Amino acid sequence: MLEALPSVMLGASILVSLLIVLALRRFIMAGYVHTAPTFDQPRRQFILEYALFIMAGSMAISANKVYYGIPYASGSMFFIGFLAFGFFIALDLSLERERTMIEERMTTQSPPRAPDSLRPMTRKFFMVALMTTLYVMVIIILIISRDLSWLKSMDSDQIAMLMPATTRTILKEISFIMALLLLMVVNILISYSRNLKILFDTETSILESVSKGDLSRFVPVATNDEFGAIASYTNTMIHSLRDRIRMLTALKVATEVQKNMLPSKVPAYPGIDMAGTIIYCQEVGGDYFDYMALPKNRLGIAVTDSAGHGVGAALHMTTARAFMRFATESYQGPAILVNAVNRHLARDNNETGRFATLFFLEIDSAQKALKWVRAGHEPALLLDPDTGTFQVLMGKGMALGVDETMEYQEYRINGWTPGSVLLIFSDGLKESRNKAGEMFGEKRISHAVKQHQDKPADQIQAMLIKAFEHFRTGEPVEDDVTMVIIKLL
């Protein structure tokens, strides 16, 4: 029987078997664990360690059979104990491997790759609990079976005499085994808690940095369970925030560039009081207005509206502005200028489908003359202060950039009533809607201008914006809104 074997001999067989598998472990680790994919290394570590313990237990039992004649059945409890201890030690080494991977991943700056598949943590907990329960049950059953077998070999008098001592021995054995298993379970819990603490602390630390605007770090993805998934999602979020910040930075630059393109102040021009503004529906847009000094002390005012919104429309508007500024250097009249701008835009647009509308106005204060070209834009409104009526400055002509051969017509008004108010605006003003779906419309525009016609241009503009904001009652602006107020004195 195994119990009769001296402790020194039993210890020697265990030690020799462990030394043998320890010598093999180094070579197997290099080829089986270290070469495995990152997320698979802890699992392979567990398999390797557990297999080596099973091998060591089998070698020890075989040695006891060969050298000491101990039957295999007698060494069953010994082997079960090897399996139990091997399970917990292998699990602890696997957790250590996982911990090492986490710490290694924390030192890298590149975003870690997400796991291809997930192994739920609940499955790991279930397997550990199941194996622990099974080993405890099997060991207790073996102890009781062995003691019952021993009691059967004695008569009733011997049993009565030895019962108290036997009971204490059985209880001591069970208590010892339970305490030892409990100690190993606690060790596993501590080891696993260390891993969880590292994962929690790392995730929390990086999320705290993200909340403060630091997007330079990623969460190490070192497990293929829920923590790996959370880390992967966090890294995706950091990537998205980086892209978002890059885009916002670019938009901020674009906003500053576009803002600098707009007139910084109203030019001083005799007999004219002016004010202009743009309300963009996004950070940047396709609307634009400009004041241009023309030959013979004339003033040019342009209001453009590129199709669409955002960066694309803004870039198209910038191109149109450049062509318009270039054309004013050889200015000969509104129609000639608009024809030149249209030709350049049509060639640049090619098959992009982009276009821009334009209302170009020339004011000759000395001659009290107005000339304009309308290229698909909203017609301007001219208020006569004496009659209180509006004249709509219509005109034929399609949007710029559609037809290179388009020839635009020039229209003219000679003379105006002092105090007349001219409003040039984009369709975003007229077509903005309130919560009921109603458009602001030309009537409301005319009413706001007419109601405050005696005020300076900037105050007329302020009152028009106030009426526009009151009408929308908090509804978002769906299109860029441009308005230029010109008071003819």
Q: Which CATH number fits domain 269-488: 3.40.50.720, 3.60.40.10, 3.50.50.60, 3.30.300.10?
A: 3.60.40.10
Q: What is the DSSP letter of 33?
A: I
C-alpha 326/C-alpha 205 separation (Å) is: 55
Cα–Cα distance for residue pair 288/305, rounded to 1 Å: 7
d(CA 265, CA 258): 15
**SS3 assignment, position 126:** helix
DSSP state of 123: H
Low-confidence ranges of the chain (pLDDT < 70): 1-11, 68-77, 108-116, 143, 146-167, 169-170, 173, 251, 254-255, 257, 350-351
Q: Residues spanned by CATH 3.60.40.10 within the chain? A: 269-488
Residue 84: what pLDDT?
81
Specify the pLDDT at position 372: 96
The two beta strands, 369-375 and 272-279, are unpaired
Beta bridge partners of 293: 299
CB within 8 Å of 477: residues ≥ 6 apart: 279, 280, 281, 428, 432
Q: Are 362 and 294 in contact (CB under 8 A)?
A: yes
pLDDT of residue 273: 94
Contact 327, 392 (CB under 8 A): no
Looking at residue 393, what is its pLDDT?
95
φ, ψ dihedrals at 190, nearest 5°: -65, -45
Q: Are 77 and 60 in contact (CB under 8 A)?
A: no
- Reported as type and span, the H/E element at residue 226 is helix 226-261
- CB-based burial label for 454 (10 Å; 0-12, 13-18, 19+): exposed
Nearest by Cα to 347 from 307, 405, 407: 405
What is the longest distance spanned by two Cα atoms in the chain? 140
Cβ contacts of residue 96 below 8 Å, gap of 6+?
191
